[in-house]
């Protein structure tokens, strides 16, 4: 079970304001599926517009990354640069 | 030891001569405007003279009749794109908006917005054609300032823009494209524990990236529909993707050849001219060359946002910062998409702060659409927060570096934007400032010292690299990232490190889109990290193949061969007694042992190491003129591992200088009709060498465990702290807190006069 933290209003709008969730997903792809099933629209939002920090390591456009048991997962807006 | 276990690095960390240096200092390098094709036409753009106007009609018939004019285009020659967002460049791109920004369709939304373009056999004919195009405008009220654009009754730029992120969804259109809130912990309760609270509003001006090379390209549309584009940009694959999308062309039909780039800093992560040149070439049947003038660069290409930053910071008497709150209002220019999101996330990131809230607004105004600029958004919020923290230090009577050290983020800290930090060097950069001689230089009257710290995430992403071994044992490393900050050198060095050969024997090239695998653009300080990982992987594959060839030569198992210092050697006495085979030996006989030796790696690099830096500046303020002289400047930064330290130092110095310009002089000046009054370097003042002291640097190395050699991006962080550091130094010099950028002589002088009047 991983702890999923939504710091951004772009995600919280799908959860009715809930900022923390739990998920059994073991990969980002699984997390996207899980979130979409529980909060329609959130999975797509995460897949298309968010970065996923798993235990502090940022992932973007990477559905294959593993989510370890007990991981701390933050959903954040995607990051670019100049 | 490097994170990959390499005990003794021989090339990484040295300072070889840059592989592109001779071409650049002799003028042989081909930048965007240098490239020519036989029979090319001159392409030029007609730009709106109005800040906001409805385009009733455009009559191009007279222009088309001018001798030498071969093509005239408007938005009607481009596909009309419905709203579709994607992330191809540096930010989420809405292709409808991108198309509209490239060529206005129904409305011109800023002074300088492209409304038509021509191609002719001479510049004179093209100019005559531009003059002959008749545009019927209905001039509309305009709005330039971000907060003016937010008030009820402000001129509305887009009738279909309704603020997202608010509940319930608004029923009327607004210039506020988006509202967002980041929140961690219980901010209001945390402020209740504070002994001291600092609350103030700050304002920054939109500033241009200021690259020396204007946008330029040549496009050729062949009779069979194949498109060739030669241009300077921050990503040939980005240009290919955007042109394909905007013009409805298959990606396979487009080949983009990167030319040298004379600066980008994020401003060349978009297309402006390329789609127009392709359309004009298609219509004329000739290659078309287009190049912006400096005036066009200012009027028509993206600056970064200006914005307002309201900050509230609370601390205990012992200096522990307990709460942070901020409201950021960023102007996005004519279309939605300011960097307010990263501005929010980075605002308090240098601090160990668990109760934080940042609210951001993305606001459209009648200015050019903003583009990325180093660490997009972070310098703006940092100016507010780091100015407020300086005020906090003064209230507490604490040294500003000690206050930051007491609250600095470190390994294990939960970042103020959420995740837990791994290996980071925030504390180390602060300590490097304390240890530097500049920290203790005595100051004279009207001189002051300021400090500020900054953060940027850095990114990875998709990259490819191919390593080819030539018959003589030299190597070619091909990647798909334009070399902006020295990536050719760092790619060659990492390949040489793995191959075990001199870096001079590795030739790095920046390949076109048909000659190397996909690479996301050069930006976000990602290339040394991500493309560097691809180079290392490809080089390791080459080494494995070289070992296999040696094994074949010796008739022993491949696992009985080791690679040491550029040579294959038996793994031990049991493997046999063979003379080492050098890379040259193996390359010379590659045809007889299995064919050419080459390897490609394509990957999606994750886990870019966050970057931190601290800047310390001494200034002297002339109370009579308001001029601020920079006496000393020190920038410290964590580079993880400096692959080529000279380039790292150069990136840090360049960022600091751009930040000094942002702090002291740079701003867009509009007249009352919304027309830009200072579209040139004479009136838009960027720092030059004579304005500056030597920018001292200290490179701290806290290795990034996700990179084979520990590298982390370095190009973004150094522009984050300078504005606050300068403001804090001016406060220290004259006792006045300046809250609005630029802190130009008129503003400084006005503040000094007001101070004197208040004291009378």
**Domain CATH for B565:** 3.30.365.10
Task: Count CB neighbours of B673 within 10 A.
Answer: 12
Task: Count CB neighbours of B412 within 10 A.
Answer: 11
Q: Does A56 touch chain B (CB under 8 A)?
A: yes
Q: Does A19 touch chain B (CB under 8 A)?
A: yes
Q: For residue B454, what are the β-bridge partners?
A: B613
B615 and B581, same structural domain?
Answer: no
- Which positions in chain B touch A77 (Cβ < 8 Å)? 180, 341-342, 345
Which residue of A lies nearest to B373 if distances are taken between CA atoms?
A82
- Which positions in chain B touch A74 (Cβ < 8 Å)? 417-419
Determine the Cα–Cα distance for residues B427 and B411; give it in Å rounded to an integer.
Answer: 10
B474 and B398, same structural domain?
Answer: no
The minimal CB distance from B184 to the residues A7, A48, A57 is found for A7
- Which positions in chain B touch A81 (Cβ < 8 Å)? 90, 266, 372, 374-376, 456-459, 523-526, 713, 715-716
Determine the Cα–Cα distance for residues B223 and B283; give it in Å rounded to an integer.
Answer: 11
User: How far is residue B566 CA from its own chain's centroid?
Assistant: 37
Q: Do A81 and B525 touch (CB under 8 A)?
A: yes
Determine the Cα–Cα distance for residues B22 and B734; give it in Å rounded to an integer.
Answer: 47
**Terminal Cα distance for chain B, rounded:** 64
Residue B452 is assigned to a structural domain of this protein: yes
R_g (Cα) of chain A, nearest Å: 11
Residue A82 is assigned to a structural domain of this protein: no
The minimal CB distance from A53 to the residues B183, B418, B458 is found for B418
B594 and B689, same structural domain?
Answer: no
**How many CB pairs lie under 8 A apart between chains A and B?**
119
B728 and B658, same structural domain?
Answer: yes
Residue A37 confidence class, pLDDT cut points 50, 70, 90? very high
B751 and B717, same structural domain?
Answer: yes
Enclosing domain of residue A24: 2-77
Closest CA to B512 of B257, B184, B207, B141: B257
Which residue has tokens 């000739």? B286
- Which positions in chain A touch B604 (Cβ < 8 Å)? 61-62
Residue B278 is assigned to a structural domain of this protein: no
Those residues of chain B that have pLDDT short of 50 are none
Determine the Cα–Cα distance for residues B181 and B358; give it in Å rounded to an integer.
Answer: 6
Which of B518, B606, B707, B719 has the highest number of chain A CBs within 10 A, making it the mutation to test binding with A? B606
The minimal CB distance from B418 to the residues A5, A48, A78 is found for A5
Domain of A57: which CATH number? 3.10.20.30
Residue A40 is assigned to a structural domain of this protein: yes
Residue B706 is assigned to a structural domain of this protein: yes
The minimal CB distance from B459 to the residues A48, A57, A60 is found for A60
Which of A46, A52, A70, A82 has the highest number of chain B CBs within 10 A, making it the mutation to test binding with B? A82
Mean pLDDT, chain A, integer: 94
Q: Does A68 touch chain B (CB under 8 A)?
A: no
- Count CA atoms within 13 Å of residue B223 on its CB side: 0
Domain final residue, candidates B605, B624, B650? B605
Q: Which residue stretches of B509-644 are H helix?
A: 532-554, 583-588
Residue A81 confidence class, pLDDT cut points 50, 70, 90? confident
Which residue of B lies nearest to A8 if distances are taken between CA atoms?
B182
B601 and B557, same structural domain?
Answer: yes
Residue B510 is assigned to a structural domain of this protein: yes
ipTM for the predicted complex comes to 0.94
Residue B656 class from Cβ within 10 Å (0-12 exposed, 13-18 middle, 19+ buried)? Answer: buried
Q: Counting every residue, how long is chain A?
A: 82
- Which positions in chain A touch B460 (Cβ < 8 Å)? 58, 60
Residue B123 is assigned to a structural domain of this protein: no
Determine the Cα–Cα distance for residues B208 and B176; give it in Å rounded to an integer.
Answer: 22
Residue A29 is assigned to a structural domain of this protein: yes
Cis before residue B168, ω within 30 degrees of 0?
Answer: yes
The minimal CB distance from B457 to the residues A10, A58, A72 is found for A58
B582 and B616, same structural domain?
Answer: no
Instruction: Count how many domains chain A has.
Output: 1
- Which positions in chain A touch B655 (Cβ < 8 Å)? none
Residue A19 confidence class, pLDDT cut points 50, 70, 90? very high
B633 and B527, same structural domain?
Answer: no
Closest CA to B221 of B71, B114, B88, B100: B71
The minimal CB distance from B375 to the residues A49, A61, A82 is found for A82
Instruction: Count how many domains chain B has.
Output: 2
Determine the Cα–Cα distance for residues B183 and B24; give it in Å rounded to an integer.
Answer: 48
B665 and B600, same structural domain?
Answer: no
**Which tokens go with B77?**
């020659």
Determine the Cα–Cα distance for residues B457 and B127; give it in Å rounded to an integer.
Answer: 45
Which residue of A lies nearest to B704 if distances are taken between CA atoms?
A57
Task: Report the pLDDT value the prediction gives residue B3, as an integer from 0 to 100.
Answer: 76
B492 and B480, same structural domain?
Answer: yes
Closest CA to B496 of B5, B19, B25, B23: B19
Domain final residue, candidates B568, B588, B605? B605
Residue B578 is assigned to a structural domain of this protein: yes
- Which positions in chain A touch B521 (Cβ < 8 Å)? none
B579 and B513, same structural domain?
Answer: yes
- Which positions in chain B touch A79 (Cβ < 8 Å)? 342, 345, 457, 459, 524
| Sheet containing B176-184: order of strands | B176-184, B356-364, B321-333, B307-315, B196-204
B411 and B542, same structural domain?
Answer: no
Which residue has tokens 């394509």? B602
Residue B659 is assigned to a structural domain of this protein: yes
**Which tokens go with B656?**
């600091």
Residue B344 is assigned to a structural domain of this protein: no
Enclosing domain of residue B621: 377-458+609-759
Domain final residue, candidates B585, B605, B625? B605
Determine the Cα–Cα distance for residues B250 and B227; give it in Å rounded to an integer.
Answer: 10
């Amino acid at each position: 079970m991983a702890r999923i933290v939504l710091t951004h209003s772009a995600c919280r709008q799908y959860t009715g304001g809930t900022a923390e969730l739990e998920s059994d997903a073991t990969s980002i792809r699984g997390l996207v599926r899980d979130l979409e099933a529980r909060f329609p629209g959130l999975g797509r939002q995460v897949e298309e517009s968010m970065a996923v920090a798993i235990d502090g390591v940022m992932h973007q456009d990477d559905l294959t990354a593993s989510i370890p048991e007990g991981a701390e997962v933050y959903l954040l807006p995607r990051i670019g640069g100049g | 030891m490097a994170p990959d276990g390499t005990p003794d690095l021989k090339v990484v960390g040295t300072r070889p001569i840059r592989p592109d240096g001779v071409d650049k200092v002799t003028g042989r390098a081909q930048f965007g405007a240098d490239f020519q094709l036989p029979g090319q036409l001159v392409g030029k753009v007609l730009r709106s003279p109005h800040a906001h106007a409805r385009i009733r009609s455009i009559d191009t018939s007279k222009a088309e009749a001018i001798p030498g004019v071969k093509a005239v285009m408007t938005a009607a020659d481009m596909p009309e794109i419905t709203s579709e967002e994607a992330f191809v460049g540096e930010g989420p791109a809405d292709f409808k908006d991108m198309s509209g920004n490239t060529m206005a369709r129904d409305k011109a939304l800023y002074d300088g917005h492209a409304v038509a373009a021509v191609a002719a056999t001479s510049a004179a004919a093209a100019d005559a054609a531009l003059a002959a195009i008749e545009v019927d405008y209905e001039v509309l009220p305009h709005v330039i300032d971000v907060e003016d654009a937010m008030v009820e009754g402000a001129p509305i730029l887009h009738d279909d823009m309704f603020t997202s992120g608010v509940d319930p969804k608004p029923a009327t259109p607004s210039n506020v494209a988006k509202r967002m809130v980041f929140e961690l912990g219980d901010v209001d309760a945390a402020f209740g524990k504070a002994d001291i609270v600092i609350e103030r509003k700050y304002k920054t001006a939109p500033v241009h990236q200021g690259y020396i090379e204007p946008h330029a390209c040549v496009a050729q549309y062949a009779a069979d529909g194949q498109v060739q584009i030669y241009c300077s940009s921050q990503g040939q694959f980005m240009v290919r993707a955007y042109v394909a999308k905007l013009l409805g062309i298959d990606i396979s039909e487009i080949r983009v050849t990167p030319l040298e780039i004379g600066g980008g800093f994020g401003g060349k992560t978009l297309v402006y001219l390329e789609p127009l040149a392709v359309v004009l070439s298609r219509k004329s049947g000739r290659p078309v060359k287009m190049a912006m003038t400096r005036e066009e660069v200012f009027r028509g290409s993206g600056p970064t946002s200006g914005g307002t930053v309201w900050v509230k910071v609370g601390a205990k008497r012992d200096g522990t910062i307990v709460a942070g709150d901020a409201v950021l209002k960023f102007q996005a220019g004519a279309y939605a998409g300011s960097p307010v999101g990263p501005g929010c996330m980075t605002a308090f990131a240098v601090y160990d702060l668990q109760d934080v809230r940042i609210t951001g607004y993305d606001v459209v105004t009648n200015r050019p659409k903003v583009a990325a600029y180093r660490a997009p958004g972070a310098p703006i919020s940092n100016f507010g927060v780091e100015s407020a923290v300086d005020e906090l230090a003064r209230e507490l009577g604490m040294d500003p570096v000690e206050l930051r050290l007491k609250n600095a983020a470190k390994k294990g800290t939960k970042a103020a934007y959420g995740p837990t930090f791994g290996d980071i060097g925030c504390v180390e950069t602060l300590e490097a400032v304390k240890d530097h001689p500049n920290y203790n230089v005595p100051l004279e009257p009207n001189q002051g010292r300021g400090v500020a710290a900054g953060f940027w995430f850095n990114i990875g992403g998709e990259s490819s690299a191919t390593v080819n071994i030539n018959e003589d044992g030299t190597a070619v490393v091909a990647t798909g990232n334009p070399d902006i900050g020295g990536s050719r050198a760092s790619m060659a060095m990492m390949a040489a490190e793995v191959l075990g050969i001199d870096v001079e024997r590795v030739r790095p090239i920046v390949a076109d889109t048909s000659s190397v695998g996909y690479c996301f653009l050069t930006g976000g300080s990602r290339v040394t990290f991500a493309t560097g990982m691809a180079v290392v992987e490809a080089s390791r594959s080459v080494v494995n193949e070289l070992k296999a060839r040696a094994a074949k030569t010796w008739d022993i198992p491949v696992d009985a061969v080791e690679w040491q210092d550029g040579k294959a050697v038996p793994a031990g006495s049991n493997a046999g007694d063979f003379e080492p085979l050098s890379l040259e030996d193996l390359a010379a006989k590659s045809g007889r042992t299995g064919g050419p030796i080459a390897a490609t790696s394509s990957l999606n690099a994750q886990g870019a190491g966050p970057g931190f830096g601290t800047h310390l500046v001494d200034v002297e303020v002339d109370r009579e003129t308001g001029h601020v002289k920079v006496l000393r400047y020190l920038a410290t930064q964590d580079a993880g591992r400096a692959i080529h330290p000279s380039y790292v130092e150069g990136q840090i110095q360049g960022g600091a200088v751009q930040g000094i310009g942002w702090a002291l002089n740079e701003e867009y000046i509009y007249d009352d009709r919304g027309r830009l009054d200072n579209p040139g370097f004479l009136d838009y003042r960027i720092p030059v060498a004579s304005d500056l002291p030597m920018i001292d640097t200290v490179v701290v190395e806290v290795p990034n465990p996700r990179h084979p050699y520990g590298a982390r991006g370095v190009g973004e962080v150094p522009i984050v702290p300078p504005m606050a550091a300068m403001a804090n130094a001016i406060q220290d010099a004259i006792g006045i807190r300046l809250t609005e950028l630029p802190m130009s002589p008129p503003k400084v002088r006005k503040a000094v006069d007001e101070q004197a009047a208040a004291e009378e």
